[in-house]
Amino acid sequence: MDANNYYDAIIIGAGPAGLTAGIYLSRAHIKTLIINEGTIGGQMIFTHEIANYPGLESVSGYQLANTMKKQAKMFGCNIKSNVSIKDVNLNDELKKVVLSDGNIYNSKTIIIASGGRPRSLNAIGEALFKGKGISYCATCDGDFFTNKDIIVVGGGNSALEEAISLTKYVNKITILHQFNHFQAFQHAINEVKNHPKINFMMGSTINEFIGNEKLEKVRVTNLKTGESNYLKIDGVFIFIGYIPNTEFLKGKIDLNEFGEIIVGPGMNTNIKGVYAAGDSIVKLFRQITTAVGDGTIAALSASDYLHKQNAKQ
């Protein structure tokens, strides 16, 4: 085994959960590698301004991610980013991560912090205006649309509940849904229907997001008639589901019906030495702060596991 490719702990994912775990483990002098498929920072880099992170008055998602990365590296954590994972072997005592470039990394313990992604509309311009008028998180971005007119896309419980939470900030909300009925609990439907700030555009979808530096208008199509109209709007919040980045784990670890990793109180999975944290696990709330908490617990659990394993030798 190549000693250069051996680590005491490997973390898959460099969002807030993965970076936090990297900080804790490397600070404890545990040889740690973070493997990340995309840009370091995960979903938080799409947040233009974070105003609810304790201890920081205001910071961009990119700045916070960069600070976390610097901390992890300062304590000795190695980070390998913009790589693709080809395969993982989690069941042996020595775990294995195989990259598409041919490199194979081994470790005694693995923390999966692969995160997730909001389900997108895949409309023209959507990627361009993420964080510039398009949001997938009411808690993160609601106050930036104070006294503005917005659209909420979706018809499930999350969409309707988030729409209600946004009413404390915005001037007017249009709930836009592709069907002519909601897929939510009746109490949530009643609440949005009785709210004076909320109106509805049913049986419709957004085909295009348009603007210059930020979102300015959208093209909306009625799915029954095929007629399209342009609407001036200050912002769009999209709540049509969430996809955990766990496709590479199917058949290898216990997942629920939504593809989320099932964990215990110590972020432990069903496999010894394998832990999970952040947006890829079964959880109620997905925030940067909750991801940081998950990463902390997973790192401490992994550290304890390594200590016990070393004591046996």
Strand segments, DSSP code E, in 77-180 are 78-81, 85-89, 95-99, 104-112, 116-118, 134-135, 149-153, 172-177
Asked if residue 291 belongs to a domain, the reply is yes
Are 205 and 99 within one domain? no
The pLDDT assigned to 122 comes to 92
Q: Give domain status of residue 125, yes or no.
A: no
Asked if 12 and 114 count as a contact pair (C-beta separation under 8 A), the reply is yes
- Whether residues 139 and 227 fall in one domain: yes
In this structure, the strands spanning 134-135 and 116-118 are unpaired
Same domain, 150 and 186: yes
Instruction: Report the domain count for the chain.
Output: 2
In a domain, 128, yes or no: no
Are residues 207 and 271 both part of a single domain? no
Is the confidence at residue 262, as pLDDT, over 90? Answer: yes
124 within a domain of the structure (yes/no)? no
Q: Given this model, what pLDDT does residue 3 score? A: 65
What DSSP assignment string belongs to 267-307? Answer: SB-SSTTEEE-GGGBS-S---HHHHHHHHHHHHHHHHHHHH
pLDDT of residue 171: 97
Q: In this structure, are strands 228-232 and 215-222 parallel, antiparallel, or unpaired?
A: antiparallel
Residue 78: give its domain's CATH number: 3.50.50.60
Share of the chain above pLDDT 70, in %: 98
Same-domain check for residues 14 and 104: yes
User: CA distances (Å), 164 to each of 142, 152, 198, in order?
Assistant: 11, 10, 9
How far, in Å, CA of 109 to CA of 17, rounded? Answer: 16
Tens digit of each residue's pLDDT (9 = 90 or more) over 47-67: 767 878 999 988 888 899 999
* Residue 123 resides in a domain: no
Q: Is residue 126 part of a domain?
A: no
Instruction: Choose one of 203, 238, 273: the last residue of a domain.
Output: 238
Same domain, 206 and 270: no
Domain around 149: 134-238
Does residue 157 have a pLDDT over 90? no
Confidence of residue 221 (pLDDT cuts 50, 70, 90): very high
Q: CA–CA separation, 259 vs 246, rounded Å? A: 6
Chosen domain end from 194, 210, 238: 238
Token readout for 142 is 């609601």
Closest CA to 125 of 216, 208, 20: 208
